[in-house]
Amino acid sequence: MVDSPIYAAGPDITQHEIDIVMDAMKNGWYGDKAYYYCELFQDKFAEYHDRKYGIMTPNCTTAIHLLLKGLGIKEGDEVLVPECTWIGSTAGISWLGAKPVFCDIEKDSWCIDPDSVLENITSKTKAIITVNLFGNMSDMRRLEKIAEDHNLYLIEDAAESLGSTLNGIKSGKFGVGSTFSFHRTKTITTGEGGMLLVDNPELYERCMFLRDHGRSSSIPYYILEVAHKYMPFNIQAALGYAQFLRLDELVNKKREQFNFYKENLKDIPDLQFNIEPENVFNSYWITAMVLGKSHGFNKHEFIRKLADEGAPVRPFFYPLSKLPAYNEFNIYEDKNVNAYDISNRGVNLPGAANLTKDQMSFVCDKIRKVLNG
């Protein structure tokens, strides 16, 4: 038994972060200091990803909504999305009166399947949102070609893949825009927070306008359009910037966790983990594990048995079409067979940044005990 609680997720906060946040708290309220860390974080984050513009938002959900609205997505449009992701990837579509169309996922990467994308394109399709699930990278080459051939916007939801690369290109560089999450569970955190990255100057200006109530840039307090209040604040950005300066270290922690789990569970057959093909560097935001059918468990039974043993694991994302929020399983269950099957057998292992090897060993021992009966 381990002495301290095992948390499913959580950040690594050091004196480095505390010092920078304290500077924002003491000095970041007036004049050009009021948004100092917001602008610094946006600029440095965009530069790191070889993007021209960064726009910080309250969370990734609002970043996606802002981008969709900036692109002109509207009622009656369709946006193709992966079946297995968090609802933050699709909520903005619904808010705009557009329709999310759920596509199947690949068996190995668990990201959107380009073949399913092709099958679901209609005259109403305007965009594709691809989600780099758990740090795995989507098949960007094919998705970019599909988007180009069909005159569609490609959006990269990189909420879970900060630090991953594909063919040496950083996650966040693909598509017309990319979005990130800085939730407390993510590799770097602002508590809650998000970032939108774009290259097109007109799109940037439109999103900046929509982010701050649709106010005039030349007439103070003069509102031109009913928009949104998706502004960040300086203290939040200071924490994000401080964490960002430690990105390589924090990604290495995630990779060490993944490698520890995989190595210590290698004796158990019929388990599938996140993949890292030769052309991918996987930041492994979370270690995901799919039970082979030979084990005879679904995720709910497995999670319950591990909880009884004191080992907290979280479920793989549900197919969104199955949830009451959309309730379209009768349309998609027979089409998106990979998503419905893999989700039913998938779990996420504990991934808090402060996990010790003893704690991870404990989790592995309990997994082994449950699977071996």
Give the tens place of pLDDT for each residue, 212-242: 999 999 999 999 999 999 999 999 999 999 9
Q: What tens-digit pLDDT sequence spans the chain (373 residues)? A: 677 899 999 999 999 999 999 999 999 999 999 999 999 999 999 999 999 999 999 999 999 999 999 999 999 999 999 999 999 999 999 999 999 999 999 999 999 999 999 999 999 999 999 999 999 999 999 999 999 999 999 999 999 999 999 999 999 999 999 999 999 999 999 999 999 999 999 999 999 999 999 999 999 999 999 999 999 999 999 999 999 999 999 999 999 999 999 999 999 999 999 999 999 999 999 999 999 999 999 999 999 999 999 999 999 999 999 999 999 999 999 999 999 999 999 999 999 999 999 999 999 999 999 999 7
CB 37 within 8 A of CB 238: yes
Give the tens place of pLDDT for each residue, 264-282: 999 999 999 999 999 999 9
- pLDDT, residue 1, reads 63
Could you tell me how many residues make up the chain? Answer: 373
Instruction: Give the three-class secondary structure for 151.
Output: coil
Query: Which residues make Cβ contacts (< 8 Å) with residue 42, sequence separation at least 6?
Result: 53, 54, 55, 56, 195, 237
Residue type, 41: F
Superfamily (CATH) of domain 247-371: Aspartate Aminotransferase, domain 1 (3.90.1150.10)
Does the reported pTM lie above 0.85? yes
- pLDDT, residue 3, reads 76
What percentage of residues in the chain have a pLDDT greater than 70? 100
Query: Which residues make Cβ contacts (< 8 Å) with residue 300, sequence separation at least 6?
Result: 315
Topology at the third CATH level for domain 15-244: Aspartate Aminotransferase; domain 2 (3.40.640)
**Dihedral of the alpha carbons of 218, 223, 228, 233, in degrees to the nearest 10:** 50
What is the residue extent of each domain of the chain? 15-244, 247-371
Query: Which residues make Cβ contacts (< 8 Å) with residue 157, sequence separation at least 6?
Result: 60, 64, 85, 89, 129, 130, 131, 132, 178, 179
Using CA atoms, how far apart are residues 292 and 271, in angstroms rounded to an integer?
6
Query: Which residues make Cβ contacts (< 8 Å) with residue 1, sequence separation at least 6?
Result: 310, 362
Task: Write down the mean pLDDT value for the chain.
Answer: 97
CB contact burial 92-109 (16+ within 10 A = b; e otherwise): bbeebebebbbbbbbeeb
Residue type, 194: G
